Chain A
Amino acid sequence: MVVETTHPLDMYLRETGMHHIWCTGCGNGILLNSFVTALKELELDLDKIVIVSGIGCIGRIAGYINTDSFHTTHGRPIPFATGVKLSNPELKVVVISGDGDLFAIGGNHFIHAARRNVDIKVICVNNFNYGMTGGQQGPTTPLNISTTTTPYGNIEHPFNLVHLAAGSGAVYVARWTTLHVRRLTESIKKALQKDGFSFVEVISQCPEIFGKSTKMGLPVDFMNWFKRASEIQHFSDPAKAEITSDRIPLGEFVDIEKPTYEKLLRERIIQVQNKMQGGA
């Protein structure tokens, strides 16, 4: 064992941002690790990447990665990212946000960006609750779970995000847990290189806050749940991909080709300009 003070991935992190504020064992930290590993393995030009995050613990990630980044208002990273991408299509625009930010307040923006097939990558870190504000229910909180705003147990059915993304028109949909970190990195790499709206759901632990709701107090307890319940099967039916305490369906669910918004916009512009020149 050797004592060290720098990590090989430190060059992908902002000196002024680190060390991150996340709790012991927080899945956000693993996603940060996985994401910058993907950047490293793909050897992407960091000057051409823009990270857009929303509000929540995961929202802080924009301040930690050494690229251009923006931390928007709650629920709005996707339309912001749309504005960025359409204004400079050479940039790779990645939205990293949480289940509440992307699917409660931001739900409308998600389905429309997926429908349009805007070439942005959306990574949803799903920890089943609103962690930053103390553990309220969210759109992915499982039934019957007690949170601070469902003290008698949640009576709302949670979203099946994979199904929602597939149904909205995303061209790449994958789900992994933070335990499956290397497969997660591979999916992130694939999403970064794919043309079109790509969605990666990261099932993540929130030991400090959601741990209270589920009595899984130790970080390792969550990982053991992921280990026990995960089922990997590529291209299974997104409609049957609901998460329960006994079954977390994982894998790639959708990987299709479809013209992107940018491509169609570009074609239309050329058409319009040619017609004008022809008519002039």
Chain B
Amino acid sequence: MKAVTTTKKLWRKPLDADKAKQPQAEIYIIKDRCKGCGYCIAFCPKEVLEESEEINARGAHPPKVKDISKCAVCGYCMAICPDLAIFVKEKTDTKKEAEKDERKE
């Protein structure tokens, strides 16, 4: 499915670019809920997601993360998904939280 690009090209670097902290994202995909509409892939402002090769129980290609470092945790994918198949969380700093969130694939 062809993605519609929505990223803007900035003509100068933002003044607080060095201070701004890139949030660390965790994207959760409930693969078998996905029906393959493509909204999350098409409308992610940072083009973080792409269609995967695998086929889920519904016969659709769920999304997969292309580059997690680009994710700004804007939450649009989570808001736009008609099947509540994707959500995003911001990773917190404490080690305890990191251990709790760790999952084996």
Which positions in A face B, CB cutoff 8 Å? 1-10, 13, 19-20, 22-30, 32-34, 37, 178-179, 181-182, 185, 207, 218-220, 223-224
Contacts and interface: CB of A to CB of B under 8 A. Distances in A.
A29 B1 CA distance: 20
Interface residues of B, number: 32
Given A1-B65, A1-B68, A19 B83 contact: yes
Contacts of B35: 23-25
Interface in B36-65: 36-39, 42-43, 60, 64-65
A2 B82 contact: no
Which of B38, B39, B42, B82: most chain A CB closer than 10 A? B82
A181 B79 contact: yes
A6 B30 contact: yes
A3 B33 contact: no
B37 A4 contact: no
Interface string B70-105: 000000100111111101000000000000010101
B103 A3 contact: yes
A27 B39 CA distance: 11
A38 to B, nearest CB: 11
Interface of B: 1, 4, 26-31, 33, 35-39, 42-43, 60, 64-65, 68, 76, 79-85, 87, 101, 103, 105
4 A-B pairs closest in CB distance = A29-B82, A25-B37, A4-B28, A24-B35
Q: Which of B27, B79, B87 has most chain A Cβ within 10 Å?
A: B79
Nearest to A6: B30
Contacts, number: 93
Contact of B39 (A7, A8, A19, A220): A220
B4 A220 contact: yes
Contacts of A224: 4
Residue among A9, A27, A33, A220 having the largest count of chain B Cβ atoms under 10 Å: A220
A181 B39 CA distance: 12
Contact of A24 (B37, B43, B76, B80): B37
B29 A4 contact: yes
Given A24-B37, A25-B35, A33 B82 contact: yes
Contacts of A27: 82
B43 A223 contact: yes
A224 B31 CA distance: 25
B72 to A, nearest CB: 15
Nearest to A10: B84
B82 A223 contact: no
B79 to A, nearest CB: 5
Contact of A34 (B4, B27, B29, B79): B79
A219 B103 contact: no
A219 B60 CA distance: 14
B27 A28 contact: no
B28 A2 contact: yes
B81 A25 contact: no
B81 A33 contact: yes
A37 B37 contact: no
A8 B1 contact: no
A3 B1 contact: no
Contacts of A179: 43, 80
